[in-house]
Structure 1
Amino acid sequence: MRWARPTRSKTMQTTRLAPSVQRTVPGDLAMWFFILAELAVFGVFFAIYGVVRARQPALFAAGQHALALTPAILNTLLLIAGSGAVAAAVQNFAHGRVRRGERWLLGTLLCGSCFLLLKGSEFVGKFSAGITLSSNDFWMFYLSLAGFHYLHVVLGMVIIAAVYRRARQGNYDAANHVGVETAAAYWHMVDLVWLVLFALLYVAH
């Protein structure tokens, strides 16, 4: 009688557990709380804007028609470019390329400066035409929201400039660049808010 060849027992496959990676929020946690608070404030303003606009569609459409779209598009591209530059700065600092990171920070400052000049000239033009917060509801919202955001861009540039100065002093490297991540997080928030503003004030009908 021929006996069946005993089958070799299958060995149990052991799965190696990958070492746990501690996930942390990039940048300073306090800045993220500040960012969330700022987004909440802007969110309330946007909601009120939507309600008032729904009640006065003709007035808001006329005010929107009086805005120049080309400078707004340029400002949008400038802030997006600034976000790209600060993201590149974070990547370069993370890989120890400090000098490159510094140059990308300067790129963000350049984009922010161009935004402020272009938007500032738009404000001057509106004030020269006699437009103020009391002109009507559209201009009240436009000047308030755009002006509030303008101040955030100024603050963002102050933060970026402070980080750049610290970088020049040798305070950041691949192991420690939390300050750069913190500045980048704030700048991305400023960019995000502008994208919503651009849609509400210039595009949405």
Structure 2
Amino acid sequence: MHARLRRRMNNPSPEKLKEAVQALYRVRAVEGPPGDHGQRSVWHMCSQGAELLSLVDLEGRVQRQELTLLEDHYVWTSGEGLRTGRVEVEGGSKAGPASPIVHTDPQLVPLRLMRAAAALETYEGEDRYILHMKRVLALAREGLAMREASSGSPSAEPSREPGLTADPFREMKPDSEAAPNVPPSSSGEGVMMLVVFGFGLLVAIALLVWLL
């Protein structure tokens, strides 16, 4: 019975995820004081199992975000991109409450990505931090779809995918800018071409003398 319950919790329904997102953007964000390097935290948290923690620099740019939707966990940083994981609540006794532990996935899990992107795509509010995470997830999903389209088959566990583990807001250079791969000619072929050219030149001179 515990195994069946755990499977249900690890596969939340789209309705539950959307309810958690709706509850998340109904709460008022709490801003923390600036830290040693000027970064400040912006925290959205609701009682429906959703939480969004954003770290912002002095210019107001988002540097890091952590999103929790029920048991799914997502971490985005400006340098490394998006990672997925799961939250497991362990412990809990009379001595103190249970503490959540985040288990990061070795590779980005497409199913988790799809769940969060679908839950956030209906958000049409103006909260810049929720909109930032919505954009991150949407771009990551587009990158996954492009990979599947190019390979012809869905990928179960993509690892180093542009737009997934890299910064999704960084522009990529088109493939046309890559230098063509031209194999160098061998020295033997060059000598042969010189011999043929010289022989042809001698024949042309001989014909010209004969005509004159």
Instruction: Confirm or deny a common fold (TM above 0.5).
Output: no
Higher-Rg member (1/2): 2
Q: Which has the higher contact order (CA 8 A, sep 6+)?
A: 1
Larger helix percent: 1
Larger strand percent: 2
